A and B are shown apart, each in its own frame.
Chain A
Amino acid sequence: MNKIVSIEEAISHIKDGMTIMIGGFLGCGSPHRLIDALVEKGVKDLTLICNDSGFPEIGSGKLVVNRQIKKLIASHIGTNRETGNQMNAGEMEVVLVPQGTLAEQVRAGGSGLGGFLTPTGVGTVVEEGKEKIEIDGKTYLLELPLRADVALIAGHTVDKFGNIVYHGATRNFNNLMATAADLVIVEAEEIVEVGAIDPNHVVTPGIFVDYIVGGGK
């Protein structure tokens, strides 16, 4: 089974109106080449789930600037002025989610959980419309899982089966999003043969990955 495809072929699976996840934290660990190809292709009306909307010139923020996003689910939008502009103008719906809740929603979505209980957001606007559940005298919010049609993630060293090793602080949402979408595309810094990665070092197992695009090296 050959998972290695061209960037064009990989993003041909992304259609107007889909829900996509993009890994990265302010662009660190984002699949930059896939994002650029998506900007070029111009698919629109996307629902985007990501930690933040990056910067106008870096990361998933480029898709916002290019007006391809209908709805954004993120924890932070402060570094991309365009996100705020489109939100205030009513051109893009923005759902702000505490970062830990967002991470856990993605994790829940990828691991078969129907939701989870978190104390984060109790007593704030985040609790609006959510069920509150008390356990041992402490109040929690019921938060529901998130899934996507396609996840675009970035890995450092990726073998041809899709096993991923990360570098530095790039794991962030990548490792979680790999589990939570119907189709998972990883952009590899370097593609290596199966067996070249010590199984002890694999962070994201290859079974989660559908397509691999490479490779800087």
Chain B
Amino acid sequence: MDKKEFIARRVAKELKDGDVVNLGIGLPTMVANHVPEGINVYFQSENGFIGLGPAPEEGNEDPYIVNAGAQCVTILPGGAFFDSSTSFGIIRGGHVDITVLGALQVDEKGNLANWMIPGKMVPGMGGAMDLVTGAKKVIVAMEHTVKGNHKILKECNLPLTAAGEVNLIITEMGVIEVTDKGLVLKEINPEYTIEEVQAATEAELIIDENLKKMEI
């Protein structure tokens, strides 16, 4: 299975019935395809609605119903549209249970950097700073390394999106929880050894006493 698909499936297991969820662009968006059966979640789209549904069938697109990446989507029965102030009131006000985002870097203090590389790439933070600050649970979903380089660091050196807000890091190698003591490896993909996961991680991992096999 594709790494991203695997990560998205594992993230989906974090969803609980009734959760309000905001998914970032890219890999996080794939989580919507794997909501566990019997569970109802409400996807929020920060450009102004809740009840985000799947892409429309060809020919049924409504150009005014798009997600935060400007792709045509649908709104489900029971959904609602609102303006950007209400949208970010929902986000900042703690009404989003889970936000899932990618990262350029994340560190052992739960700091996240995902909005700019000085001198190279400055797309802007969009809604990411508000989401990471306001959501009850922040999940970073990403490939463990980029071109062999560490992304899970002792300390981020790129400009931060938010300080100390990340709760969980889910990669193809495992599931890592951010705690006061540091990063705790809670689950490991059996295709890797603990040594391999540690080698791919700059920050020191604390191995959970009840380390589990990462399952999707």
Chain A residues close to B by CB (< 8 Å): 25-29, 51-52, 74-79, 84, 87, 96, 98-104, 106-107, 118-126, 156, 166-176, 203
Contacts and interface: CB of A to CB of B under 8 A. Distances in A.
A125 B125 CA distance: 11
A84 to B, nearest CB: 6
B3 to A, nearest CB: 24
Contacts of A25: 47-48, 66, 68, 70, 84
B47 A28 contact: yes
A169 B129 contact: no
Given A87-B122, A100-B92, A176 B129 contact: no
A142 to B, nearest CB: 15
Given A98-B129, A107-B85, A168 B124 contact: no
Contacts of B68: 25
A123 B160 contact: yes
B64 A167 contact: yes
A196 to B, nearest CB: 20
Contacts of B75: 168
A124 B121 CA distance: 17
B162 interface: yes
State the main secondary structure of chain A at its contact with B.
mixed
Given A28-B63, A168-B62, A169-B47, 9 more contacts: A25-B70, A28-B47, A75-B126, A78-B121, A96-B124, A98-B127, A169-B66, A172-B48, A176-B85
A26 B130 contact: no
Contact of B91 (A96, A100, A122, A170): A100
B133 interface: yes
B30 interface: no
A203 B70 CA distance: 23
SS class of chain B's interface: helix, strand, loop or mixed? loop
Count chain A CB atoms within 10 A of each CB in B48, B81, B84, B123 and give the residue with the most.
B84
Contacts of A121: 129, 133
A119 B134 CA distance: 8
Given A120-B130, A123-B160, A77 B64 contact: no
Contacts of A78: 121-124, 126
B49 interface: yes
A99 B125 contact: yes
A31 B210 CA distance: 57
B126 A29 contact: no
A122 B163 contact: yes
B63 A99 contact: no
A182 B9 CA distance: 50
Contacts of A76: 123-126
Contacts of A171: 48, 81-84
Of listed B49, B63, B83, residue having the most chain A CB within 10 A: B83
Leading 8 A-B pairs by shortest Cβ distance: A78-B123, A123-B163, A100-B88, A168-B64, A100-B130, A103-B84, A26-B70, A98-B129
